[in-house]
Amino acid sequence: MKTSFAVTMMLSVCVAISGVSSAQQTTTQQQSGTQQTAQQNLTQQQGANTATARQPAVVKKVGFRMANWRTIHGDGTKATTDMVSTLQKIGCEVKQDNHGGHTDISFRCASWKTVSVQNDDQSNQWHQWLVNNEFETVVLNPPATTKLPTVKVRMAAWKTVHAQSAEQAQSLKETYELIGCEAVVDNHGDHIDLKFRCPNWSTVALVNSQAAHVWQDWLNKSGFETQHDHSADGHDAHAGHDHAATGHEGHDHAKDDHSGHNHK
């Protein structure tokens, strides 16, 4: 009986030890699995963060220009005062002439300027305000729901053109920046170079199909790749076409004095 009792106790201890060992093994496996899952999640998150970091930031802005003076009658109300203040803040030239019974407000913006926006609502609001006041407009990276005709544009490699003057170089620089390009002016004393590129596709929205075609033609001749969505042209909707291989070699548009077109 004593021997049997001793054997029974030893078997019980072995079972207990085996149970503890199994429990420890299970715990270790669970911990290892949890750690592996955590590492996988971290790796996936890092991959996602890297992919996000590689995505270029989408710049949104509204470009505008009014080449000629426009005159409106002011009535002295707060609305008139606010309009004058807004025009001045966005870089327009503003003149006010008091004629006793009323005030004439004249304004223009001879070169392209832009307003940076944070979201689609601001883009739509600024665009509508500018159109209502008869500005020429270009919307960079418009809302996906825009009904305006659009042109996609890209220039993967740097291109350099000669400008005839510092004023022309600056005007061209502003035009290229308007459509999302990087642009650099280099004054070499005897001549001025303008270097520009737009490595990622940008989308510009124009006020109508005629303006879209005028811009696209100029961009093609300047050496850009372009794609135009014809669905807003009043034609049958079809995919935009890539003009990169259509024989448009591009030429030095500094000689053409293209500081922007009248797209009305």
| pLDDT tens for each residue of 145-164 | 999 999 999 999 999 999 99
- Check: CB of residue 202 under 8 Å from CB of residue 141: yes
CA distance 60 to 146: 13
pLDDT at 96 over 50: yes
The pLDDT of 124-149, averaged and rounded, is 96
What would the two tokens of residue 25 be? Answer: 């093994």
Question: pLDDT value at position 3?
Answer: 47
The pLDDT of 160-171, averaged and rounded, is 91
Question: pLDDT value at position 263?
Answer: 36
Question: pLDDT value at position 127?
Answer: 97
**Could you tell me which of 207, 202, 209 has the C-alpha nearest to residue 226?**
202
| Cα angle for residues 224, 255, 189 (degrees, 5° grid) | 105
Mean pLDDT is lowest, of 43-52, 64-73, 92-101, 255-264, for 255-264
Q: Please name every residue paired with 104 in a beta bridge, in sequence order, or none if there are none.
A: 73, 97
Question: pLDDT value at position 80?
Answer: 86
- Check: CB of residue 241 under 8 Å from CB of residue 179: no
* Confidence (pTM): 0.66
**Could you tell me which of 262, 259, 185, 170 has the C-alpha nearest to residue 222?**
259
CA distance 70 to 228: 32
> pLDDT per residue over 11-69, tens digit each?
444 444 445 455 455 555 555 555 665 566 655 666 555 444 455 577 899 999 999 99
